[in-house]
Chain A
Amino acid sequence: MLYLSQMLGRPIRDLEGERVATVKDVIVRLGDDDHPPVTGLVARFGRRNFFLSRWRVTELNEHGVRLNSDKLNLRPFVRRDGEVLLARDVLDKQLIDVDGKRVVRVNDVQLIETANDWRVTGADVSFQGLWRRLAPAGFMGTRTPVEVLDWADVGYLATDAATVQLKSSSGKLARLHPVEIARLAEALSYHHGSEVVESLDDETAAETLEEMPSERQVQILGDMDEERAADILEWMSPDEAADVLGDLPEDKAEELLGLMEDEEQADVAELLPYADDTAGGLMTTEFVTLPHELTVGEALARLREMAETPNMIYYLYVVEREGSWKLSGVIALRSLILADPSVPLNEVMRTKFQLAHPDEPAREVAQRIAEYNLLALPVMDETGDILGIITVDDAMEILLPKDWRQRLPRLFS
């Protein structure tokens, strides 16, 4: 086992033991391997950097490097695709520890010699790792066990080298809950936060974005490739998507709306007319309506058959007939399950329920949801048509004091 810090600056000797150069950096190829292999070294001689393939190295330890020939092939170093320089791109940078769900800084890199090559096995994030680099050589007091993060748990590497993103990173990150991904992305700088979101698949990216503050949503989607941004917007809930579009510059918003699939485009467009601080601006158009002539059994069967079930099915909205939006009652999922399957819906539904008008102030509606312990509240227009529903989580976002929603204690008001 070897640490990167123990190698940097050490001599490179040829077959005769003659010192020919010093170790400047270690090249690693990131791929699907959990523990990426070392492919070579950057050697420094004079004031130039040269590439040294790992096949020319016979010995690699804390005393330095020994070559298998007495000739030094002076091939200038050029970075190739997918290659990472450990000292330049990894050391001192931040990365996401998927296992610990945290952002850490790399104090040192651990390498282990396997059958025929050297592999990166871990990132040292401990104080000892720091001390190893700070203290003069030989000053390393006790060899206490250090906290080394398994490289297989590295979900994202916050480095500026553009071509080197971990291929498997999105897969590892996707193991986390979108809330956690959002929190980690926010702990990074906004460039790297955007990169994290972009590396996710459309659905996870949408869910992660929904957990982020609206300014970040706007910034991330605004900087992204338009096609990709439209794809992610389609996966977001229509009310969130409408909010983001409303906050984006007009041209951009129009372009993104135009790129969305017809169905989602219409859902979002429907919500755009309402101002942010009204019930209309808070509502979503994802809800289930059922015609009232159905029986309880038929209603349940229909729920099961739905291709895309909205998230919010704890309340079902009963309308006058198929295709109508005229709301005549509400059924809680609980009563539907407990009721006799052969009774028609209009015998189980409640005809008295709380509702909101689209122009009502958002805050009042949110308070009503909290007061009546509702999970959602239908929004109806003057003609009695249901336009959408306001769910309890959107209501909470308004009601909770700002500090509660923030992850970090704000240092600077």
Chain B
Amino acid sequence: MAESRAAVVATGRRLLRRGRGVKPPSGWRRNFLGFLAILGPGMIAASAGNDAGGIATFAAVGAEHGYRLLWILLPITISLGLVQEMCARMGAVTGKGLADLIRERFGVRWTAVVMLALLIANAGVTVSEFVGIAAAAELFGIPRFISVPLSALGIWWLVVKSSYQRVERVFLLMSLVFLGYIISAFLARPDWNAVALGLVKPSFSLDYAYLFTLVAVVGTTISPYMQVYVQSSVVEKGVTPEDYGRTKWDVWVGTVLAILVVFFIVISTAATLHTHGLHIESASDAARALRPLAGPYAEKLFAIGLFGASMLAAGVLPLATAYSISEALGFEKGVSRSFREAPIFLGIFTFLIAVGAAIAVIPGLPLIRVLLVTQVINGLLLPIILFAILKLVNTRELMGAYVNGLIYNIGAWLTAIVVTCLSLLFILVTLFPGLARR
């Protein structure tokens, strides 16, 4: 008996050494599955930037400024990657969300400031999502006072009473329509020399419209909620410093892919609208850029994509905001709670949806303009979040050996400072229009 037991143990050890199991999932499959499982946070967060506000902003960039603003995509890719990576790293090293860390390190007052900024920025983005829904529905001939309240109720019900995750995939699939811009950009036969020139030759102007677009571009790409989002999904996935390498890749790949889509949106709108001196005033103008690909169906195609992307974000965003704020301030949270148990959490969620829907339903609202303004608000509030992130990620007590390196810090601080200056400049030009004229 003793002998056979020893044999069993020996076999067990041998098996452990070889990787366990008679029929183990073969090495590549396991690795691949592992990669897929962990692949995600960065990808999803970065592509979530391409929502209603993002599409509107970049379509406007192409239509108004042609290829002139393309150069900003290179620095913004690096900045977005840096910022996203810092948050993902904080998530992996500390196992805590951004809101948690802010509360624990900065105390109540700063938490209140940051959370207020986040609330305002996210309320703005939520408005933009409902505006996106209104615009998409109008392309199908459905008036907004029907589409918006219905979607608002639908989203609220799905999240609180049912399972939002099930429909989430449908919306995600619908938003893939925007990949059509890539094909459309090629079919529109852009002047590639001009594209290349625009990509490398920086331009700058104190012109109000120019600054407005610039701030909107920054606000929609490096939006505050994405940082919160990427960090909490890294935490949720249980990524630890040991397997952080893959997440880092995921973040950078996601960033590059997202900006690539943006790049083609700008090209296709520049080639189809700017060259003909057309502006973007409504969603159907933005849809025009899909014509080289879809011809007469461009509007419908665009509407489907816009609806999917807006519905997706209109559900996730208020929810993520409610989670962050409840987390930071220590309120009960969770969609399975009742109003009596988690009044603040459900209150914030409901409030955001209600405000978003209420503003979007205002008759005669210039939809595209509103979309851009919400992105500008994002851009103006971004510095607050950026400085908080930078301060946290450089706290050795928290991050140990995982604090930023020197070069990394230079890049990140540069991003924060440039974004801040841009915001201040924009505010100055808005308050004193005379500045721009000189």
Give residues in A with beta carbon < 8 Å to B: 91-94, 102, 104-107, 125, 127, 130, 133-134, 160, 189-193, 213, 215-216, 219, 245-246, 250, 253-254, 257-258, 262, 265-266, 268-270, 272-278, 280-281, 359, 403, 408-413
7 A-B pairs with least C-beta separation = A269-B12, A105-B330, A189-B95, A275-B21, A246-B20, A190-B95, A412-B233
In the complex formed, the residue of B with least CB distance to A215 is: B238
Q: Are A410 and B236 neighbours in the complex by a CB distance under 8 Å?
A: yes
Q: Number of residue pairs across A and B with beta carbons under 8 Å?
A: 134
In the complex formed, the residue of A with least CB distance to B94 is: A189
Q: Most A CB atoms within 10 A — which of B17, B20, B100?
A: B20
- Of the residues A125, A134, A219, A272, contact of B15 by C-beta under 8 Å: A272
Q: Are A219 and B13 neighbours in the complex by a CB distance under 8 Å?
A: no
CB distance from B316 to the nearest CB of A (A): 7
Q: Which residues of A contact B108 (CB under 8 A)?
A: 92, 107, 130, 133-134
Q: Are B22 and A273 neighbours in the complex by a CB distance under 8 Å?
A: yes
CB distance from A124 to the nearest CB of B (A): 10
Q: Are A93 and B334 neighbours in the complex by a CB distance under 8 Å?
A: no
Q: Are B233 and A269 neighbours in the complex by a CB distance under 8 Å?
A: no
Seed contacts A245-B20, A254-B16; 14 additional CB < 8 Å A-B pairs: A105-B330, A130-B329, A130-B330, A133-B108, A189-B96, A269-B8, A269-B12, A273-B15, A275-B22, A359-B22, A409-B334, A410-B165, A411-B320, A412-B233
Give residues in B with beta carbon < 8 Å to A: 5, 8-9, 11-13, 15-17, 19-24, 41, 44, 94-96, 100, 103-104, 107-109, 112, 163, 165, 168-169, 229, 232-233, 235-236, 238, 240, 316, 319-320, 323, 329-332, 334-336, 344, 397-398
> Complex Cα distance A20/B330, Å?
36
> Complex Cα distance A245/B169, Å?
35
Q: Which residues of A contact B24 (CB under 8 A)?
A: 275-276
> Complex Cα distance A410/B330, Å?
19
Interface CB pairs A-B, < 8 A, 21: A91-B107, A93-B104, A102-B332, A127-B331, A130-B329, A190-B95, A219-B238, A219-B240, A257-B9, A265-B9, A269-B11, A269-B12, A272-B15, A272-B21, A273-B20, A274-B21, A274-B22, A409-B336, A410-B236, A412-B236, A413-B169
Q: Which residues of B contact A277 (CB under 8 A)?
A: 23
Q: Which residues of B contact A245 (CB under 8 A)?
A: 16, 20
Q: Are B21 and A246 neighbours in the complex by a CB distance under 8 Å?
A: yes
> Complex Cα distance A219/B238, Å?
9
> Complex Cα distance A93/B328, Å?
10
> Complex Cα distance A193/B238, Å?
11
CB distance from B310 to the nearest CB of A (A): 18
- Of the residues A134, A213, A269, A275, contact of B109 by C-beta under 8 Å: A134
> Complex Cα distance A104/B344, Å?
15
Q: Which residues of A contact B238 (CB under 8 A)?
A: 190, 213, 215-216, 219
Q: Are B23 and A278 neighbours in the complex by a CB distance under 8 Å?
A: yes
Q: Most A CB atoms within 10 A — which of B23, B109, B233?
A: B23
Q: Which residues of B contact A160 (CB under 8 A)?
A: 397-398
Q: Which residues of A contact B23 (CB under 8 A)?
A: 275, 277-278, 359
CB distance from A407 to the nearest CB of B (A): 9
Q: Are B8 and A266 neighbours in the complex by a CB distance under 8 Å?
A: yes
> Complex Cα distance A53/B151, Å?
62
Q: Which residues of A contact B8 (CB under 8 A)?
A: 266, 269-270
In the complex formed, the residue of A with least CB distance to B96 is: A189
> Complex Cα distance A102/B341, Å?
13
- Contacts A275-B21, A275-B23; is A257 near B165 (CB within 8 Å)? no
CB distance from B51 to the nearest CB of A (A): 15
Q: Are A254 and B13 neighbours in the complex by a CB distance under 8 Å?
A: yes
Q: Are A403 and B319 neighbours in the complex by a CB distance under 8 Å?
A: no
In the complex formed, the residue of B with least CB distance to A93 is: B104
Q: Are A257 and B22 neighbours in the complex by a CB distance under 8 Å?
A: no
> Complex Cα distance A411/B16, Å?
36
> Complex Cα distance A38/B21, Å?
57
- Of the residues A102, A192, A254, A266, contact of B17 by C-beta under 8 Å: A254
> Complex Cα distance A408/B41, Å?
18
In the complex formed, the residue of A with least CB distance to B331 is: A127
- Contacts A92-B108, A134-B109, A190-B95; is A273 near B165 (CB within 8 Å)? no
CB distance from A19 to the nearest CB of B (A): 24
- Contacts A134-B109, A190-B240, A273-B11; is A413 near B168 (CB within 8 Å)? yes
CB distance from A222 to the nearest CB of B (A): 9
> Complex Cα distance A276/B20, Å?
9
Q: Are B165 and A413 neighbours in the complex by a CB distance under 8 Å?
A: yes
- Of the residues A107, A125, A257, A276, contact of B12 by C-beta under 8 Å: A257
Q: Which residues of A contact B11 (CB under 8 A)?
A: 269, 272-273
